[in-house]
Amino acid sequence: MDTFQTPSDPPPANALTPQALHACFLGPYGENDTLLEKLVVEFLRDHVYWRRNFHPEDPPAIPTGAAQHPAYLELEARMRRELHALSAALKRSVPFHSPRYIGHMASDLLLPGLAAQLLTLPYNPNNVCEDAAPVTVDLEVKVGLQLARMLGYPADPDKRGCAFGHLTSGGTVANYQALRLALALKAFPVALRASGVAVEMAGACDAFDDDWQAFNLSVDDGIALVEQWQQWLATLSPEDATRWRVRVQSERIETLGLTGFFSRHPTLRVPCVYAPVTAHYSWSKGLKLLGLGRAQLSLLPERDMRLDADALEEALQRCVRARQPVLMAVGVLGTTEHGMIDPVDRIVDARDRFQAQGLGFSVHVDAAWGGYLATMFRNPDGSLRTRAQVGEGLENFPGEAVHAAFAALGRTDSVTVDPHKLGYLPYGAGAFVCRDHRAMTLLSEEADYVFNGPAADDYMTRFRQLGQYIPEGSKAGASAAAVYVMHKVLPLDHAQFGQLPRQTVLAAEAFRRRAEQAAHELSDVAHLCVPFAPDSNLVCVAINLAGNRDVEHANRFVRTLHDDLRCDPARPLQVKEFFGSMTTLRAASLGERRLRRILGALDLDPTSMGAATDHLVILRHTLMNPYLIDANNGISYIDRYFDYLSGRIRAFARAA
Ligand SMILES: *Cc1c(COP(=O)(O)O)cnc(C)c1O
């Protein structure tokens, strides 16, 4: 029974208007307090009625007079004391909701998601499997399909190669899941070959005749092989099928471990992962966790702040020559430090070319930050929008390379997206989505047949046993409810959800213009510039006081500026005018020449950039708050921020 509408529902008739947007968030001032309160009270009562209606004939177990007992009152008082203390302490929290917060990747929360989460919490569903979450497991699998559609993956669960996605605690675990799946898929054909089954399975032996070939199939060939193997098993007697299953299982990397597997296949090297030099540290964590080791993470240089596709090409050529297998190439859609968009199109092109040369690997896009920007590129019918359509009313976005990157998402093998970042939902909601669900069977703790018998063919039935496939065990069904409801209220296309990231791009463009104006206004006391053209909604600003030529000194100055922009639990929140963050620029990201040009623009001496200081410290601003430009009151918090920053810079200049 499907009590929920499916992802193919007709979309809302009209685009999301600014007036409709007013109902989306609790608001910087808590403007929508009565709306949220109404929803919380309504659904809390609804929950209580549900409890009562389970067996209304059961009398209340807690006596009706219990609340008058002194011991009850004492405990209530203790509870209140602790809650008051907590509530008081939480006042020192970071004011993510405020348009004065332009630091890290956090902002206000979308009401439909927040309300759905609060509504679901007292039911406490556990999305480890449908027995513990008959409703919300379904919602989680559907969230996977909603995201798949946004990314351009096949999203019809009745079709064979449909995508699959699930939620995780965050992008870190989603990235880990991508590594786990890629390794399972890469090593499976080797196990199949070692078990001797490939010879038995008609046709499969055509695919490879040594370990190197088996370890280097393309993702699609690997998936086809898994499917062929399952179909072949179905033709055997139950005894034979079990015998072969056990034999293949005993050869799998998941059974043998890395040591066992590679010592059994001495001609194979441990595969490596390519990622850009600014990749999030979750990649290092993931390789350590998987046991492949941090040394297998090869960081590629960037060119103009994006992964250098030529460097990837050269690295892959070296791999072919050295017979060095590659597990995965990672592109980042919205780098954590700089918000830049890697050339996903060129990465998948390289994959296709090297696959033809016998070097198969998977392509994963870490879109923890930028994933939801894809809504701007999607029509309500699911088709891709042209660059001109996406860019209507915007100054630079999307650059040609940026559009090409988003257009290529459907050709990648898996993607990480964080609903708790640009999806404006509570932590922890990350998501992993793979293009073809058929690979997932390799991750299951027990073969599908144990659970589902022949019915395992049914997509929804299979993935309701979510715990079989995910790295975690017990997990919050309330998160799945939040993401699902948010996606239903604001469908993931440009006319609906896409209006939110569009606001962020508009804000970033306004921010950049204002930075250029500030540079002009401050030219008597400081050099200020936007060091690289932003790809999306993160804008960095580099600053140096006039007269200084030393990079280390400039870095110290920017750190001092940043001290006033960062969270400081020791001081009252209200003394803080704005929140910003800080990052660095290095030659490895920018290229030597461009870095020199920026140093020049700041009147810094390039020779002062030495071994001790190999980077330039810059301010970093995440422009995701929907109220940065408050049209209602005619206030631009972007203007106010630059007024504030200019005041600080002038004060330092006077003191110097
Ligand atoms: C935030 C981020 C991550 C990690 O995600 P968490 O949700 O913090 O675990 C990974 N990659 C990128 C690009 C990110 O921006």
Q: Are 419 and 166 in contact (CB under 8 A)?
A: no
Greatest pairwise CA separation for the chain in angstroms: 87
**Angle formed by the axes of helices 238-251 and 253-264, nearest 10°:** 60
Confidence of residue 207 (pLDDT cuts 50, 70, 90): low
Does the structure show a pLDDT above 50 at 188? yes
Q: Residues 427-438: what's their mean pLDDT?
A: 97
Does the structure show a pLDDT above 70 at 311? yes
3-class secondary structure, 313: helix
What distance in angstroms lies between residue 567's CA and the mean position of ligand 1's atoms? 20
For 25-83, how does the pLDDT look when each residue is reduced to its tens digit (9 = 90+)? Answer: 999 999 999 999 999 999 999 999 999 999 999 999 999 999 999 999 999 999 999 99
Question: Cα separation of 248 and 538, whole Å?
Answer: 48
What distance in angstroms lies between residue 599's CA and the mean position of ligand 1's atoms? 30
Tallying the residues shown for the chain, one arrives at 656
What distance in angstroms lies between residue 289's CA and the mean position of ligand 1's atoms? 16
Distances (CA, A) of 246 to 13, 378, 464: 54, 45, 25
Q: Residues 353-368: what's their mean pLDDT?
A: 97
Q: Which residue has the tokens 């992802």?
A: 7
Residue 467's DSSP bridge partners are none
Residue 543's DSSP bridge partners are 528
**Burial zone of 66 (CB within 10 Å; 0-12 exposed, 13-18 middle, 19+ buried):** exposed
State the pLDDT at residue 572: 86
Question: Cα separation of 345 and 349, whole Å?
Answer: 6
Q: Which residues line ligand 1 (CB under 6 A)?
A: 170-172, 175, 280, 282, 332, 336, 366, 368-369, 418, 430
Characterize the bridge pairing of strands 414-417 and 430-434.
antiparallel
What are the structure tokens assigned to 503, written together? Answer: 């606001």
Poorest-pLDDT segment among 174-183, 291-300, 628-637: 628-637
Q: Is cis: bond before 398, omega within 30 of 0?
A: yes
Strands of the sheet containing 581-586, edge to edge, are 526-529, 538-545, 615-622, 581-586
Question: Cα separation of 247 and 339, whole Å?
Answer: 47
For 467-498, how does the pLDDT look when each residue is reduced to its tens digit (9 = 90+)? Answer: 999 999 999 999 999 999 999 999 999 999 99
Confidence of residue 451 (pLDDT cuts 50, 70, 90): very low
Q: Residues 445-465: what's their mean pLDDT?
A: 69
For 221-251, how does the pLDDT look when each residue is reduced to its tens digit (9 = 90+)? Answer: 999 999 999 999 999 999 999 999 999 999 9
What distance in angstroms lies between residue 426's CA and the mean position of ligand 1's atoms? 14
Question: Cα separation of 352 and 2, whole Å?
Answer: 39
Does the structure show a pLDDT above 60 at 427? yes
Q: Which atom of ligand 1 is nearest the CA belonging to 170? A: 7
Does the structure show a pLDDT above 60 at 203? yes
Residue nearest to atom 10 of ligand 1 (CA): 171
What distance in angstroms lies between residue 429's CA and the mean position of ligand 1's atoms? 11
What distance in angstroms lies between residue 655's CA and the mean position of ligand 1's atoms? 39
Question: Cα separation of 595 and 116, whole Å?
Answer: 47
Question: Cα separation of 365 and 174, whole Å?
Answer: 11
> Which long-range contacts does 250-257 make (Cβ < 8 Å, 24+ apart)?
250/195, 251/190, 251/191, 251/192, 251/194, 251/195, 252/184, 252/187, 252/188, 252/191, 253/183, 253/184, 253/187, 253/190, 253/191, 254/184, 254/187, 257/291
Q: Determine the residue of 284, 287, 369, 535 to mutate for testing ligand 1's pocket, defined as the one with the most ligand atoms within 8 A of the Cβ atom.
A: 369
Residue nearest to atom 5 of ligand 1 (CA): 171
State the pLDDT at residue 9: 60
**Burial zone of 641 (CB within 10 Å; 0-12 exposed, 13-18 middle, 19+ buried):** buried
What distance in angstroms lies between residue 277's CA and the mean position of ligand 1's atoms? 15
Question: Domain 136-188+271-489 belongs to what architecture?
Answer: 3-Layer(aba) Sandwich (3.40)
Look up residue 23 and give its amino acid: A
Residue 511: how many CB atoms within 10 A of its CB? 27
Per-domain boundaries in the chain: 136-188+271-489, 499-655
Strand spans (E) along 261-361: 272-276, 297-300, 302-303, 306-307, 326-332
Does the structure show a pLDDT above 50 at 367? yes
DSSP-assigned letter for residue 442: G
Closest C-alpha among 328, 350, 395, 51 to residue 182: 328
State the pLDDT at residue 11: 60
Q: Determine the residue of 168, 336, 424, 624 to mutate for testing ligand 1's pocket, defined as the one with the most ligand atoms within 8 A of the Cβ atom.
A: 336
Confidence of residue 587 (pLDDT cuts 50, 70, 90): confident
Does the structure show a pLDDT above 80 at 199? no
What sign has the CA pseudo-torsion 151, 154, 157, 162? negative
State the pLDDT at residue 206: 59
Question: Cα separation of 296 and 273, whole Å?
Answer: 6
For 281-308, how does the pLDDT look when each residue is reduced to its tens digit (9 = 90+)? Answer: 999 999 999 999 999 999 999 998 999 9
Of residues 2 and 13, more confidently modeled? 13
Angle at 357 between CA 356 and CA 358, to 5 degrees: 90
Question: Cα separation of 209 and 204, whole Å?
Answer: 10
State the pLDDT at residue 14: 76
Q: Which atom of ligand 1 is nearest the CA belonging to 369? A: 15
Q: Are 315 and 273 in contact (CB under 8 A)?
A: no
State the pLDDT at residue 450: 44
Torsion angle in degrees (nearest 10) through CA of 482, 486, 487, 493 = -150
For 97-156, how does the pLDDT look when each residue is reduced to its tens digit (9 = 90+)? Answer: 999 999 999 999 999 999 999 999 999 999 999 889 999 999 999 999 999 999 999 999
Poorest-pLDDT segment among 368-372, 391-395, 630-634: 630-634
**Burial zone of 449 (CB within 10 Å; 0-12 exposed, 13-18 middle, 19+ buried):** middle
Question: Cα separation of 90 and 313, whole Å?
Answer: 50
State the pLDDT at residue 449: 46
State the pLDDT at residue 592: 87
Q: Where does 469-564 have alpha helices with state H? A: 477-489, 499-521, 551-563
Distances (CA, A) of 172 to 282, 289, 528, 633: 5, 11, 34, 39
What distance in angstroms lies between residue 285's CA and the mean position of ligand 1's atoms? 12
State the pLDDT at residue 395: 95
Q: Are 410 and 153 in contact (CB under 8 A)?
A: yes
Does the structure show a pLDDT above 90 at 588? no
Considering the entire predicted model, what is its pTM? 0.95
CB contact burial 114-136 (16+ within 10 A = b; e otherwise): bbbbbbbbeeebbbbbbebbebb
Confidence of residue 439 (pLDDT cuts 50, 70, 90): very high
Question: Cα separation of 131 and 126, whole Å?
Answer: 9
Percent of the chain with pLDDT over 90: 86
Contacts of 479 (CB under 8 A, 6+ apart): 117, 127, 167, 425, 426, 428, 429
DSSP-assigned letter for residue 169: S
3-class secondary structure, 276: strand
Q: Which residue has the tokens 């939040």?
A: 482
State the pLDDT at residue 631: 86
